[in-house]
Structure 1
Amino acid sequence: MEQEKNQTETIVEEQTTEEVNEQPESEVEQTEVTEELSEEQQKINALEQQVADLNSKLLRVHADYDNFRRRTKDEKEAAAKYRAQSLVEELLPVLDNFERALAVEPANEETKTLLQGMEMVYRQFQDGLQKEGLEVIESVGQTFDPHLHQAVMQVQEEGHEPNTVVEEFQKGYKLKDRVIRPSMVKVNG
């Protein structure tokens, strides 16, 4: 019996020793697992941050591209709308000279015929410019507008409202909605 008792004690001691030995191993394993999870979580957090940064950059690039596309479209539309501006600006002195030539009183029949031919060319010229969007700025009798008129003289005349255009020295023109040349005018002060 004693032998059985010794064997039982030995078995109990071995089991206790194994349990004691197992506990620290499981704690160590748990610590290692926790550290591995912590490292994995840090990697996940870092990757999530990278994804968020890349998404933010992508959204900014997309917004920049949309702005660029819209700006380019607007510039193309403006260029198409005002494509004739430089040509019209070069032709305005020609238009002025036509008007001056047509204002001359004919002295004889030959001069009348010449002026009639010039008048036909002038009308064709004017029609072509109007098709491109050229408009004459109305001045005489209008309220002075510094965006449309250039005041070269100021007078005090009875019968006219203050700040009203009294006389036009040179016609002003607009191309569509843009002023190409303001009217040179005399304004009642």
Structure 2
Amino acid sequence: MEDHVEIRAGEEAQPPAPPKDGGAAPGEKPEGASGAKVVDRRRRYGEDGGAAQAEAAEAPRTVPTYVEQLERKVAVAEEKLKEHVERLNKESADFRARQERELERRTLEARKRVVSAFLPIAEDLGRAVAAASAPAAGDAAEGLIEGVRLIQGRFSQELAAQGVVPIAAVGERFDPSLHEALMTKEVTDPSLDGVVVEELGQGYRLGDEVIRPSRVAVGKLRAGEAAPGS
């Protein structure tokens, strides 16, 4: 706002006369004097006046916007932290599962090695029982036969307690995952073609793992005979 001085019409502006002895002080009109009347219409604002209020009203309100930005950043950071924690939990669970599977595998392998060392003994006992049971052995071998049978039965019980079970062979259709074919035998019955007809060595299984396949003879249909389903 521009400061201005208004001079009323019909009056001539004159400089203020210097004070005389006994005269009026500066800014006061002496008695009987004529001259211009000065009116000061400048607006004055105090330190807490309208100008400061106008500037405050025109200033942008940045505080709420800044707080909102901080809140958005915090929300994004929390979401990232949540995803990171979930990923760590999943990785930890997967690691524990892998460790458990590896431990089970190693335990099974150790049990297989231990059990495999006893299998020849079980077979030898079986052969001894078979030899002693032959008619030529006579009554003198009856006590030996009974003792060997007891040992064989006890040994089989110990194997079963460890989860070792014999693999069924004779009468079963040949399965390369369970049986090892050492020979074939000619058969005339079409139903025996491809079937285990003789067990030459007992096979054993520990759980779902085959420790040793059964060694078997597999039936083979004689040439000229009708195959099953033909």
Q: Which consecutive residues of structure 2, in runs of 5 or more, have no partner in the other structure?
A: 1-7, 9-35, 221-230
Distance 1:117 1:164, change over 3 A: same
Tell whether the 8 Å contact from 1:144 to 1:187 is kept in structure 2 after alignment. Answer: yes
Asked if 1:172 is matched to 2:172, the reply is no
| 1:57 CA displacement | 0.9
Q: What residue number does 1:89 align with?
A: 116
| 1:117 CA displacement | 1.6
Q: 2:164 aligns with which of 134, 137, 154?
A: 134
| Secondary structure, counterpart of 2:137 in structure 1 | coil
For 2:84, give the aligned amino acid. K
Q: Which consecutive residues of structure 1, in runs of 5 or more, have no partner in the other structure?
A: none
Q: What residue number does 1:157 align with?
A: 187
Tell whether the 8 Å contact from 1:142 to 1:164 is kept in structure 2 after alignment. Answer: yes
Count matched residues.
Answer: 179
Q: Which has the higher contact order (CA 8 A, sep 6+)?
A: 1
| 1:95 CA displacement | 0.8
Rounded to whole Å, the distance in 1 between the matches of 2:78 and 2:147 is 76
1:1-189 superposed matches below 5 A: 6=39, 9-10=41-42, 13-14=43-44, 22-27=53-58, 29-30=59-60, 33-34=61-62, 36-72=63-99, 84-104=111-131, 105=134, 107-161=137-191, 162-189=193-220
Identity %: 26
Choose 125-134 or 80-89, whichever is displaced more.
80-89
| 1:24 CA displacement | 4.3
Please identify the structure whose Cα radius of gyration is greater: 2
Bigger helix share = 1
Rounded to whole Å, the distance in 2 between the matches of 1:137 and 1:4 is 132
